[in-house]
Amino acid sequence: MIVLKKSTQTELDRVQALIKKELVSDKIIQEIYKYIFKAEGKKTRALLCLLASKSKEIKSKDRTNLASIIELLHTATLVHDDVVDESEIRRGTRSVNQVWTNSYSVLMGDFIYSKAFILMVKLGIPSILDELAKATNDIARGEIIQLNLLEKKQHIQLQDLLKVSYLKTGRLFEASSKTGAMLANKSKEEIKIFGLLGKTLGTAFQIQDDILDYKAIKLDTGKPALKDFKEGKITFPLYFALQNSSVKDKKFLIDKLGQSKISKKDQNKVYSLIQNEKTQKEINALLQKYSQETLKHLHKLKHDACYNEMLNLINFSKIRKK
């Protein structure tokens, strides 16, 4: 659990209250909207934005609004992501596309995007609108590139994974901390550092998320076991496992990749191959690399009001189990 100041937790609660508030009268939209936000996520990106925007000169309402925009953008990507991946579970409950249909999910994702952009316009800061619009575009690019990578399978390179990881995850982390700093009128150098911090933290966060997909067999992570593997995705742990496996085991992994139903015996074999000592050493080294880079960026902000809470967030991201 992330240790936060009482005032920060209060702001995070306000973010949750704001994004849950939907004023449209259409019953079906209210029903789906409430369902999506019933299961609360970690709100890591919103928190990153709140911490980066800490300043006595900035209205709390503006900070809450910006953090809410970030959370809405993130949620919209998740709703669309579940359609692309044909996911059945999101945040421990049935995904929108399972409860309703893919059509409802796509349109509801669009609706949440539009709500975020309405709030952006009300915020009235062109530079922030520009950054978030570009980030939204990059996230969509990442989704398309990842779809294309599904066809490459064992021919995927580490740089391919790092690019997708940045576009799909790191980019919104970067925009969250960068726009937070922009809102707080911090210097150009500080804004740059906050952006880099978000970028490397987002990559570390994604690596840890990929690791948890394989640990879901053994842990209660709130997500189905081997979700990414069953969707045919080669993520960081599988990439290193393929590099370190025998020809026979490599063929086994590629043959099973993308199968929606895998026997318990085969699941355990996949898990054991991922747990290979060399594979674990390499994946942990990559996680450590991006975690250390994030800490280096944070060290340059040691006099900032957010330093201690940001450090707690970074440390939590490395050890989280959900």
Which band of pLDDT confidence, cut at 50, 70 and 90, is reported for residue 221? very low
Lowest mean per-residue pLDDT among 31-35, 122-126, 165-169, 212-216: 212-216
pLDDT at 134: 96
Nearest to 77 by CA among 48, 105, 117, 118: 105
- pLDDT higher than 90, residue 149: no
Retrieve residue 139's tokens: 């996230």
Q: Residue 120's beta-bridge partner residues?
A: none
Helix axes 171-183, 126-149, angle to 10 degrees: 170
Q: Considering the chain, what percentage of its residues have pLDDT values greater than 90?
A: 57
Q: Residue 295's beta-bridge partner residues?
A: none
For residue 298, report the phi and psi dihedrals to the nearest 5 degrees: -65, -35
| Residue scoring higher pLDDT (97 or 167) | 167
Looking from the CA of 90 toward its CB, the CA atoms found within 13 Å total 25
Distance between CA atoms of 205 and 93, rounded to whole angstroms? Answer: 22
* Residues sharing a CB contact under 8 Å with residue 33, sequence separation 6 or more, in sequence order: 22, 108, 111, 112
Task: Rounding to the nearest 10 degrees, give the CA dihedral for residues 141, 142, 143, 144.
Answer: 50
Q: Considering the chain, what percentage of its residues have pLDDT values greater than 70?
A: 95
3-class DSSP state of 93: strand
189-207 pLDDT, tens digit per residue, is: 999 999 999 999 999 999 9
Contact assessment for residue 11 and residue 50, using Cβ atoms and an 8 Å cutoff: yes
Task: Give mean pLDDT, residues 78-99.
Answer: 81
62-77 pLDDT, tens digit per residue, is: 999 999 999 999 999 9
DSSP code per residue over 255-295: HHTT-S---HHHHHHHHHHHT-HHHHHHHHHHHHHHHHHHH
6-319 has CATH 1.10.600.10 classification? yes
Q: DSSP assignment, residue 223?
A: S
Tell me the pLDDT of the chain averaged across its residues: 88
Domain ranges of the chain: 6-319
Radius of gyration of the chain (CA): 20
Q: Is the pTM of this model over 0.85?
A: yes
pLDDT at 36: 80
Task: Give mean pLDDT, residues 137-156.
Answer: 87
* Residues sharing a CB contact under 8 Å with residue 35, sequence separation 6 or more, in sequence order: 96, 99
38-62 pLDDT, tens digit per residue, is: 877 788 999 999 999 988 777 788 9
229-270 pLDDT, tens digit per residue, is: 988 889 999 999 999 999 999 999 999 998 888 998 999 899
Which band of pLDDT confidence, cut at 50, 70 and 90, is reported for residue 21? confident
